[in-house]
Structure 1
Amino acid sequence: MNSISANLNVMIKACEKASKVLIRDFGEIEKLQVSKKGPSDFVTNSDIKVEKIIIEELKKARPNYSIISEENGTENSMDKKNTWIIDPIDGTINFLHGIPHFAISIALKSNEEIISGLIFDPIKNEIFFAEKENGAFFNNHRIRVSKKNELNNCLFATGGKTKQEPDLPYRKSGCAALDMAYVAAGRYDGYFQRNLNLWDIAAGLILVKEAGGVLNEIDLNNNKNIKIIASSPDINSKLLEKLNNF
């Protein structure tokens, strides 16, 4: 694989450090699952803890970069050109129920475009990352979007509320970041969802793009209510046809 940038290295280290807490907390959740109160307060706590570790690590390395994160909101620093976009636990509801399908997501936005993205699934120990013009990788192997071109042979992912049942083979996994990473890796053939937050999908955008996928136009200055349709180029027009009123 190509050598990775210093920034991506910082992102990976922050993720690895934070994931230790996440793995430990996930172990605790399985015990809390049976308590009457349930683990919801505990999860908020995990979210905050994980985010704090990530921000501390990123700040140590890049004290001047701005930050957009799920729990903390926006923190503009001296360097407004470079912004970290962080989702400490994407797939919180899975995490809450002891379902091992969630991820840490970190992206770097520089001059109005995402130039680095990292999605890390700590439980399966799967790391997906991409950098602008450097390709997309899964655990250090180069990845590409799928090459299927018949809708019936495909599997798509979506989330949230769907107004009407799309006439497509699809799954709802409850983790937007991993849905995007799986499209990049060719596991899913495409992903569509509305009402997303920027931190859910920022890292996924560059992963899909660098893996050869196509996406609708996304306004990166808008943190909320984002709509996304991502897929391989081979299936995109057929997918858009099926989703024409999405």
Structure 2
Amino acid sequence: MAERIVTSIAGKSPVAVAVNTAAKAGEWIKSKLGSYENLEEKTSSQDLVTEVDQGAEKLITNLINTYFPNHAILGEESVEPGPEGAKRALEKMRNEEYLWIIDPIDGTTNFVHGFPFFCVSIGLVHEGELAAGVIYDPLRDEMFVSEKGKGAYLKGRQIRVSRELRLSESLMASGFPPQDRSDRHLQKFTEIVPKVRNIRTSGSAALHLAYLAAGRISGFWEPSLNVWDVAAGVLLVQEAGGRVTDLQGNPYTLETTDIAATNGHIHDELLKCFKNYYD
């Protein structure tokens, strides 16, 4: 829908602002790797936050407010922990004309342990639809950028999803979010393993989606995610020619928490694996 493409707001490019902001936040986060001081648990011992997460969110928020002071901002570290808190926060801001959705460090557990797979994720929603998405991996200096209707890019070059036609040829990714270590998810995981070439579980939904957009993996699924985990990545995948739904095949919305994302070719075959998931 061309009328929803947001190229410029008050003479400023939101994509340029997001790129600049992600780069600055990422460099600061990188400088703190291995030197955080305060580690706290939110909902569980697997759901972590440090002062670096909080500082990065403040930095991002301040920079966006400098350019767009009237825009709403939904950041992970400003929301009550747990799925209900996330749901209420999104409902409160859902009807804002412009809504920035921020995950200052997607992959905090990786950051804490020094495992090099985490990123800054910044998405922009305009009138309820994803308009821009930026994911920055500071350790590899990789900036993934998408704008609705204009494609997806990495370091200025357009990227596309992979070409695998069958699950058996596919390198997949998934994860185990803190709020869902359920037997159902584990069972489904073990059922899918023999059907695919292999599976990666690297601990950052946003970066997995960016890798899917870049053709590095063929598909990704994960239950019980929050909007800040996936908003920017969903647009990247869509603009790179991929497909994103829930596990039943319904189109992605900001309220979708159970994600299935693929290169499009293998999507229906993947969804068949979840046919009885909610029974």
| TM-score, normalisation: structure 2 | 0.78
CA distance in 1, matches of 2:141, 2:191: 32
**Which runs of 4 or more aligned residues in structure 1 lie more than 2 Å from their structure 2 counterparts after TM superposition?**
39-43, 73-77, 166-169, 242-246
| From 3, 18, 22, the counterpart of 2:25 | 18
CA distance in 2, matches of 1:219, 1:28: 37
Do the aligned partners of 1:194 and 1:228 also contact (CA within 8 Å) in 2? yes
Give the stretch that moved more between structures: 161-170 or 10-19: 161-170
Partner residue of 1:175? 204
| From 45, 51, 61, the counterpart of 1:45 | 51
Distance 1:166 1:141, change over 3 A: farther
1:189-204 to 2 correspondence within 5 Å? 189-204=218-233
Deviation at 1:89, TM superposition (A): 0.3
Report % sequence identity: 38
Partner residue of 1:242? 273
Deviation at 1:27, TM superposition (A): 4.2
Q: Which amino acid aligns with 1:40?
A: L
The structure with the largest strand share of the pair is 1
Partner residue of 1:36? none
CA distance in 1, matches of 2:27, 2:211: 23
Q: Unaligned regions of 5+ residues in structure 2, if any?
A: 1-6, 41-47, 80-88, 246-250
Matched, 1:8 2:37: no
Matched, 1:188 2:217: yes
Deviation at 1:235, TM superposition (A): 1.2
CA distance in 2, matches of 1:80, 1:234: 35
Do the aligned partners of 1:114 and 1:202 also contact (CA within 8 Å) in 2? yes
CA distance in 2, matches of 1:245, 1:67: 37
1:129-148 to 2 correspondence within 5 Å? 129-148=145-164
CA distance in 1, matches of 2:142, 2:34: 18
SS in 1 for 2:186: coil
Deviation at 1:234, TM superposition (A): 1.2
Partner residue of 1:151? 167
Count residues in correspondence.
231
Partner residue of 2:64? 58
Give deviations 1:96-152, integer Å, cap 9, x for gaps. Answer: 101110000000001110100000000111111100000001111101111111322
| TM-score, normalisation: structure 1 | 0.88
Deviation at 1:230, TM superposition (A): 0.5
Q: Which amino acid aligns with 2:121?
A: S
Matched, 1:219 2:245: no
Deviation at 1:91, TM superposition (A): 0.4
CA distance in 2, matches of 1:212, 1:47: 31
Deviation at 1:43, TM superposition (A): 5.1
Aligned Cα root-mean-square deviation (Å): 2.1
| From 98, 107, 117, the counterpart of 1:101 | 117
| From 239, 260, 270, the counterpart of 1:229 | 260
Partner residue of 2:191? 166
Q: Which amino acid aligns with 1:200?
A: D
Deviation at 1:8, TM superposition (A): 0.5
